[in-house]
Structure 1
Amino acid sequence: MTTINPYLTFEGNCENAFNFYRAVFGGEFTFLGRFSDMPEDPNYPVSDEARNQIMHVSLPIGGDTILMGSDTGGHDSGNFNVGNNISLSITVDSKEKADEFFSKLSSEGKVSMEMSSTFWGDYFGMCTDRFGINWMISFREEESASE
């Protein structure tokens, strides 16, 4: 099964925005992680002021729809522009499908993060297609390994 969810990016006020969305839609966050939770990486330093900002938050808003978001923080902070601060996040049921979608979507576009295994357990990548639409592709490796 493949699902597509909106992914919103903020410039330091993600937590405030998602507390508002939680008040609007109800429910609870299924995940809330901060940049301070990430493993240290000298290639992508996180400033002291960004450490408490949101790395990722998930809020189910009905059925299979999850509103997701993060602050720009760290190495990506210079890329924030109102209007390009939404991505479509696709979750697929196989690594092969993730690679296929990523390859097709990034063709003639721009890769911002190659598909790779991540510290949070997903096989994940990000790109912007040739039409300027931002995409996040992920396959949950940890769940498939335990099945």
Structure 2
Amino acid sequence: MMKRLDAYLFFDGNCREAMNFYKDTFGGELNLMTIGESPAKNQFPESMVDTVLHAGLIIGDFTIMASDNCMGGDLPKGKDVSLHLSCESTEEVDLLFDKLSAGGQPLMPPKEEFWGDYFCSVTDKYGFNWMLSFSAQRQ
């Protein structure tokens, strides 16, 4: 069953600043990818090239993941945090996606993403956001 649960934080344009603050506070190794550095850059307006698409601060066995609000729109409190589950297989991702989608709202169906993970996201029937992934390279 699942390998680990991490927090995924969403920021309204200040992800780089916040993640550098957390790095200064907790230490660790910070990796950032902007929209302009990603294969998905053509899917976004030119004005968003410096927007953080994904950040990861690795502190031993603990990881804080984050991004700017790349999808636009409001970012009300409660929608600015997702729970990220690292799963053991693509089958587990599919199973959990189906279960969490029941009565909820599928956001991104499971598929292989450009960064190599099998990934999906869903809001469950209680309004909590979940991100599920399986990474063959981290096995």
Partner of 1:16: 17
Q: What is the aligned length?
A: 138
Distance 1:100 1:67, change over 3 A: same
TM-score by length of 1: 0.86
Contact 2:101/2:123 (<8 A) preserved: yes
Provide, for residues 56-101 of structure 1, a one-character-per-residue CA deviation record: whole Å limited to 9, x for no partner.
Answer: 01112342x210000012xx11142233100000001111111111
Q: Offset of 1:141 from its aligned partner? A: 3.2
Alignment gaps of 5+ in structure 1 = none
Tell whether 2:94 aligns with 1:93: no
Measured on the aligned residues, the alpha-carbon RMSD in Å equals 1.7
Partner of 1:58: 56
Query: Percent identity, aligned pairs only?
Result: 37
Counterpart-to-counterpart distance in 1, 2:131 and 2:50: 23
Further displaced range: 79-88 or 108-117: 79-88
Contact 2:35/2:41 (<8 A) preserved: no
TM-score by length of 2: 0.91
Further displaced range: 32-41 or 113-122: 32-41
Out of 110, 119, 126, the position equivalent to 2:121 is 126
Structure 1 SS opposite 2:50: coil
Tell whether 2:129 aligns with 1:108: no
Alignment gaps of 5+ in structure 2 = none
Counterpart residue identity of residue 69, structure 2: T
Tell whether 2:65 aligns with 1:68: yes
Counterpart-to-counterpart distance in 1, 2:72 and 2:98: 26
Q: Offset of 1:49 from its aligned partner? A: 2.5
Provide, for residues 31-66 of structure 1, a one-character-per-residue CA deviation record: whole Å limited to 9, x for no partner.
Answer: 311111232476xx3122211111001112342x21
Structure 2 SS opposite 1:80: coil
